[in-house]
């Protein structure tokens, strides 16, 4: 029987791979994600899965046999496998292997908001989008609590015809768990259990899509929860709860487990979501530390694949603020969201024995303190200043209120430590890292959190008074303009962009502090094992909460404009974002108390109704992103993992330029000297109702920067719906350090109806690219 040349080469490869090689008992296996060229599959294999299986079977033997965890076909092409170093070395020799990346662990970025965002029954966006009916949001998180009333399908139309997903069942997740609201649910845990080395302990977490942590139910119902009456947490924030797109459908993909979220599982979920037919992916998960390089960031690579299928990928920026360069999920094809406050507070004031009163916040709901002031001590004087469990001396805190510094451990755990030691109350004291950011928690004992200024005065009072005393007064829920909102949360990760400073990140901010949404019935509101309480709704904070707000808004825009690309939807959100709080002043940063900047809040706070009619959009597609990768110095080998084909020597031909020339709706400029000149080109498309619109530009130049826009007038017509312009930034020739390290401004195109605003951030590079902001 004749053997084809392709078959002969394949069998020769198998022979070479199976030659003996030295290995040792220390040849410990690890999970890898293998990116493969789709076109390299030998013809004798009927499917890529068969080819991958053959490759794995051809590798040298080991005490722990190599195994495939997942096949990937849509987000990327390839597979994930558990391999020893010896096996990995042989695998790299296989033709068609583009890249091999170790499996990494990622972490979660842990009602009234529709009103704060201007969404109401009469709002244009809800009316024009039908509340997102028919749009499918894929929520990649900790799963879903299917019985929650925010997942009711009452009044919803049939499941969208394009949906191809399933409702994965299990002992605690029957087929009836899904309905016309929760149209699909799956769990992805092969990466997790392979790293864990043992099966899932179902007494602690469910292997099914059921949410036993709470985070996934919260994010899903924030994005697309149905209208739920009488929602509250212990009577705090009482009212109606509903998601941003209350008639959109939810597909829950469980990717996060007790130790975190593994890239192999995340990619498998993204791959499945693309196949299933989602329109938006909401992912409140990200890297720890600085953002990894795009070609080593599985979320970035998977999001690239999703964008090729027209899917908006909305991600949290991270909770590593307030330091610079902390934002993650910063690839330009991702919609990156920071966190801000809303105009709802849960005040709980500290009253000291000397009569001083300091504002704080709390969601405590148990018995109040006695009606007289109690002795007050600082935890640093009676044990650990952070009130670690078991670190506070019972003999020194019994019957007293304890001041615990924020940081080091969970906020509610500090109160639990005080309670177990016999303390009667806690004041959670902010340090410089958190500034004036106040996050309300459902404490296990009477407790409140105060800002850094108040905390310093309370500590000083304890030092100076021979018998310091205090009490805490809880004042329920207050909605209003004092304090002003929004403000940027101190924890919200921020720029400049760690990888590509010419791309401004985060893109926007959205509500992420003290957000009420659905919760699991498996654990209490604090997520602590010692918390016996069970709630239907919970109030928590994080960019994990801001991300699904924007995911839901993106779903509304997708419904209103089904032909828009993910980039056009992002552009509409960015160019219509606002920068003033509800008192009419510039948005402030809670970490510093000073005015926020585009490095902190991106373009500003999302404005859903304005995004419905942006006037102009900056659009981008796959070819633009490939040009961007070329501009940042990626060669054909590095780009191959995105295009999923063998390296092509001409992929960057004619595409060399500045990464700042990507058609992004914002501007980030890096000057190499005090007399540098940088020019970017942009293309805008008229999506307004007037075909003959004329837009003129208004420039708000950053300090020490001269800006020229050419042309300064854009005249659109039925024949010319898309026009281009150039914007030139010139550094004023002043000697360092006269020039401020970073300055900010904006340009705005206006036709008298629309204001299409693009934020500008300018940085001067001194030696290192990351020396200051």
Cα(513)–Cα(520) distance, integer angstroms: 19
The pLDDT score that the predictor gives to residue 404 is 97
Give the C-alpha distances (Å, rounded to integers) separating 123 from 70, 242, 261, 483, 609: 44, 15, 37, 25, 7
Query: Which residues are 488's β-sheet partners?
Result: 340, 589
Distance CA 204, CA 281 (A): 27
Residues 301, 264 contacting (CB under 8 angstroms): no
CA distances to 434, 665, 693, 694, 720 from 717, rounded to whole Å, are 51, 22, 7, 9, 5
Q: Could you give the dihedral angle defined by the CA atoms of residues 701, 705, 706 and 708, in that order, rounded to the nearest 10 degrees?
A: -60
SS3 305: helix
The residues that bridge with 473 in the sheet, in sequence order, are 349
Closest to 624 in 3D by CA, of 307, 330, 376: 307
The predicted structure's pLDDT at residue 63: 86
Largest CA distance in the chain: 99
Instruction: Count Cβ atoms within 10 A of the Cβ of residue 659 and give its class: 0-12 exposed, 13-18 middle, 19 or more buried.
Output: buried
Q: Which residue's entry shows tokens 């900790």?
A: 142
Q: Which of 490, 498, 539 is nearest to 516 (CA)?
A: 539
SS3 455: helix
pLDDT of residue 22: 40
Q: How far apart are CA 493 and CA 473, in angstroms?
A: 32
Nearest to 368 by CA among 401, 334, 337, 393: 401
CA within 13 Å, CB half, 716: 24
Enumerate residues 6+ apart whose C-beta is below 8 A from 748.
697, 698, 700, 755, 756, 757, 758
Neighbours of 12 (CB within 10 A): 10
Half-sphere CA count of 172, side-chain side, radius 13 A: 17
Torsion of CA 431, 436, 441, 445, to 10 degrees: 60
Read off the tokens for 423: 């303390």
* SS3 state of residue 428: strand
The pLDDT value recorded for residue 26 is: 55
Helix (H) or strand (E) holding 70: strand 67-72
Active site positions, annotated? 141, 215, 544
Q: How far apart are CA 326 and CA 495, in angstroms?
A: 6
Confidence at residue 7, expressed as pLDDT on a 0 to 100 scale = 38
Q: In 672-721, where do the E strands start and end?
A: 677-686, 694-700, 705-710, 713-715
The strand pairing partners of 763, in sequence order, are 670, 742
Integer Cα distance of 312 and 297 in angstroms: 18
Residues 6 or more apart whose CB falls under 8 angstroms from that of 309 comprise 74, 274
10-residue averages of pLDDT along the chain (773 residues): 37 41 60 94 93 94 89 96 94 95 89 68 80 96 97 96 97 97 98 94 95 97 96 91 96 96 98 98 95 97 97 97 96 98 93 96 94 96 94 95 94 95 97 90 96 97 96 92 91 96 98 95 90 94 96 97 98 98 95 96 97 98 96 94 88 85 97 92 97 97 96 97 98 68 95 97 70 44
């Amino acid at each position: 029987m004749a053997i084809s040349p392709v078959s002969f080469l394949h069998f020769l490869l198998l022979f070479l791979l199976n030659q003996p090689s030295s290995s040792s008992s220390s040849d410990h296996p690890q999970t890898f994600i293998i990116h493969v060229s789709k076109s390299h599959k030998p013809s004798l294999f009927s499917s890529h899965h068969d080819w991958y299986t053959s490759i794995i079977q051809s590798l040298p033997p080991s005490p722990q046999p190599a195994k495939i965890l997942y096949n990937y076909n849509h987000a990327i092409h390839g597979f994930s496998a558990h391999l020893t170093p010896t096996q990995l070395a042989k695998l790299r020799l296989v033709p068609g292997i583009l890249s091999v990346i170790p499996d990494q662990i990622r972490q979660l970025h842990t009602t009234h908001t529709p009103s704060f965002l201007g969404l109401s029954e009469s709002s244009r966006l809800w009316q024009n989008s039908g509340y997102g009916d028919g749009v499918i949001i894929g929520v990649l998180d900790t799963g879903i609590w299917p019985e929650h009333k925010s997942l009711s399908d009452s009044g919803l139309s049939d499941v969208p015809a394009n949906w191809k997903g399933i409702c994965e069942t299990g002992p605690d997740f029957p087929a009836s768990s899904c309905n016309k609201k929760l149209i699909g649910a799956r769990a992805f845990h092969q990466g997790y259990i392979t790293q864990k080395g043992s099966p899932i302990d179902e007494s602690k977490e469910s292997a099914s899509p059921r949410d036993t942590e709470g985070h996934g139910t919260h994010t899903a119902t924030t994005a697309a929860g149905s209208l739920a009456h009488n929602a509250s947490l212990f009577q705090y924030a009482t009212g109606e709860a509903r998601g941003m797109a209350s008639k959109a459908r939810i597909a829950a993909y469980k990717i996060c487990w007790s130790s975190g979220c593994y890239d192999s599982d995340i990619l498998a979920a993204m791959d499945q979501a693309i196949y299933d037919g989602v329109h938006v992916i909401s992912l409140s998960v990200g890297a720890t530390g600085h953002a990894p390089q795009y070609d080593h960031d599985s979320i970035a690579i998977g999001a690239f694949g999703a964008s090729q299928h027209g899917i908006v990928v909305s991600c949290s920026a991270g909770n590593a603020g307030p330091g610079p360069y902390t934002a993650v999920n910063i690839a330009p094809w991702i919609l990156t969201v920071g966190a801000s406050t809303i105009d709802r507070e849960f005040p709980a004031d500290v009253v000291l024995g000397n009569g001083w009163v300091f504002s704080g916040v709390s969601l405590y709901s148990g018995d109040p303190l006695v009606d007289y002031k109690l002795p007050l001590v600082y935890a640093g004087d009676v044990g650990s200043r952070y009130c670690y469990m078991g670190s506070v001396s019972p003999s020194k805190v019994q019957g007293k209120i304890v001041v615990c510094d924020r940081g080091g451990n969970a906020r509610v755990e500090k109160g639990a430590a005080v309670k177990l030691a016999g303390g009667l109350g806690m004041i959670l004291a902010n340090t410089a890292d958190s500034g004036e950011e106040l996050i309300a928690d459902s404490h296990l004992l009477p407790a409140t959190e105060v800002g850094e200024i108040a905390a310093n005065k309370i500590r000083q009072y304890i030092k100076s008074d021979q018998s310091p005393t205090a009490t805490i007064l809880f004042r329920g829920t207050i909605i209003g303009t004092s304090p002003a909102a929004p403000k940027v949360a101190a924890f919200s990760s921020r720029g400049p962009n760690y990888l590509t400073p010419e791309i401004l990140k985060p893109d926007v901010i959205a509500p992420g502090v003290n957000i009420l949404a659905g919760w699991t019935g498996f654990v209490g509101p604090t997520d602590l094992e010692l918390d016996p309480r069970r709630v239907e709704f919970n109030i928590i904070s994080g960019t994990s909460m801001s991300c699904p707000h924007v995911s839901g808004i993106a779903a509304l825009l997708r419904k209103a404009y089904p032909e828009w690309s993910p980039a056009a939807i992002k552009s509409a959100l960015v160019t219509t974002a606002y920068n003033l709080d509800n008192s009419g002043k510039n948005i402030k940063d809670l970490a510093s108390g000073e005015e926020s900047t585009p490095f902190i809040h991106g373009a500003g706070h999302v404005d859903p109704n304005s995004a419905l009619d942006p006037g102009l959009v900056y659009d981008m597609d796959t070819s633009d992103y490939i040009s961007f990768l070329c501009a940042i110095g990626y060669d054909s080998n590095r780009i191959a993992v995105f295009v999923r084909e063998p390296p092509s020597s001409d992929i960057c031909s004619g595409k060399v330029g500045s990464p700042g020339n990507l058609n992004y709706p914002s501007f980030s400029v890096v000057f190499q000297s005090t007399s540098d000149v940088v020019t970017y080109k942009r293309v805008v498309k008229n999506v307004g109702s007037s075909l003959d619109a004329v837009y003129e530009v208004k420039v708000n130049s950053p300090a020490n920067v001269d800006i020229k826009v050419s042309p300064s007038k854009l005249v659109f017509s039925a024949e010319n719906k898309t026009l281009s312009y150039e914007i030139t930034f010139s550094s004023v020739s002043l000697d360092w350090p006269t020039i401020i390290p970073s300055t900010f401004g904006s340009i705005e195109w206006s036709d008298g109806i629309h204001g299409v605003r693009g934020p500008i951030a300018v940085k001067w590079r001194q030696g290192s690219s990351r020396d200051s902001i």
